[in-house]
Structure 1
């Protein structure tokens, strides 16, 4: 009789195995059949605090300006030209370019200039503050400096209008200073016909050349 119960029990065990019921009665240990989710590898950043192209390639090209502007001068800035303060701040390279527009019939003579300088990245805050202070310090009873609203061109941006009232005629100069990475730039427009919106557009083009 006991042998009959043993055979019956073995028969029931085989049935339960084939029906998968034992997986419910005796579940697999936690994590036994789970596939671990791989942890995404960190994506390395390629951002660099320093520019990666020659300073001359950051300069505005004739095609960047309206067609009535003519190239007047462009050249590297040399080490002996720099003041001691700039050298102490890690000045490494510089470039300058000047364009002008001349229309004798309309008595129009307008000049656009760009100065580009590269410094040690850690000193860029100081570089910008020194140049901004130099501009605002030009305000006198004759020359007035007014800060203008301007989109950010990089890490720091300052825009201004300088009005000179000496003599019977007054003249206006617009300027935009900005830093991006290890690059300091200053763009100015002066003359008989000036346009701050055009200068902002040129500054945005210049900032886009910094890589």
Structure 2
């Protein structure tokens, strides 16, 4: 009996030892980490119409070259607008004018920005009517040259207008564009003009439409 117990203990000891050796050779598998779900970004929907006031879309003195000064800025009223603007649903407007004057160099240059708000559904019609009015100038007294210009907003048209009835002839540069429910005109004219500056200002103006 004693011998049998001793044998059983020896067998158990051998099993335990072998189990320890096996576990060192074949360790228990480490459970795989549970992956953390990646958050899915929720797409933001941009408003199809402007969400800031027309005065906030106007070019500020800090946006303009430092040698220009603010001449005037004001809201536009319904009574100032033409009947066709009323028919197209004109809702609000704003205008701002800057001047650069250098008497020593006989330089006087003006920069004007006009902003109109119309219903979104009428924006293409507003743009097309303006382009048609540009094309309708009398070619005997006025020459229109379309100019290359980066796309600004949804629709863009840039041109140089030369008044041949004056001596010397006077040229002005203009960019018209629409973005969302906003129509804008930027015009520069005078003794010294810079179309590159006008293009940069048009992009600045478009970026203000939010």
Q: Could you tell me the TM-score, scaled by structure 2's length? A: 0.79
Q: 1:103 to 1:42 in 2, by over 3 A?
A: closer
SS in 2 for 1:199: helix
Residue in structure 1 matched with residue 6 of structure 2 by the alignment: none
Compute the displacement of 1:168 (Å). 2.5
Residue in structure 2 matched with residue 178 of structure 1 by the alignment: 177
Residue in structure 1 matched with residue 54 of structure 2 by the alignment: 55
Residue in structure 2 matched with residue 120 of structure 1 by the alignment: 119
**8 Å contact kept, 1:74–1:96:** yes
| Structure 2: gaps of 5 or more residues | 1-36
Q: Distance in 2 between matches of 1:122 and 1:146?
A: 29
Q: How is 1:11-26 mapped onto 2 (pairs within 5 angstroms)?
A: none
Residue in structure 1 matched with residue 100 of structure 2 by the alignment: 101
Asked if 1:86 corresponds to 2:71, the answer is: no
Compute the displacement of 1:167 (Å). 3.4
Question: 1:104-134 deviations in whole A, cap 9, x for unaligned?
Answer: 1101000000000000001100010011111
**8 Å contact kept, 1:139–1:145:** no
Residue in structure 2 matched with residue 163 of structure 1 by the alignment: 162
| Structure 1: gaps of 5 or more residues | 1-37
Q: Distance in 2 between matches of 1:180 and 1:146?
A: 23
Question: 1:135-162 deviations in whole A, cap 9, x for unaligned?
Answer: 1212421210010000011110000000
Residue in structure 2 matched with residue 66 of structure 1 by the alignment: 65
Compute the displacement of 1:81 (Å). 0.6
The count of aligned residue pairs is: 173
Residue in structure 2 matched with residue 207 of structure 1 by the alignment: 206
Q: How is 1:128-167 mapped onto 2 (pairs within 5 angstroms)?
A: 128-167=127-166
Q: Distance in 1 between matches of 2:45 and 2:158?
A: 30
Q: Could you tell me the TM-score, scaled by structure 1's length? A: 0.78
**8 Å contact kept, 1:157–1:178:** yes
Structure of larger gyration radius: 2
Q: Distance in 1 between matches of 2:68 and 2:59?
A: 12
CA RMSD of aligned residues (A): 1.6
Q: Distance in 1 between matches of 2:167 and 2:90?
A: 41
Residue in structure 2 matched with residue 3 of structure 1 by the alignment: none
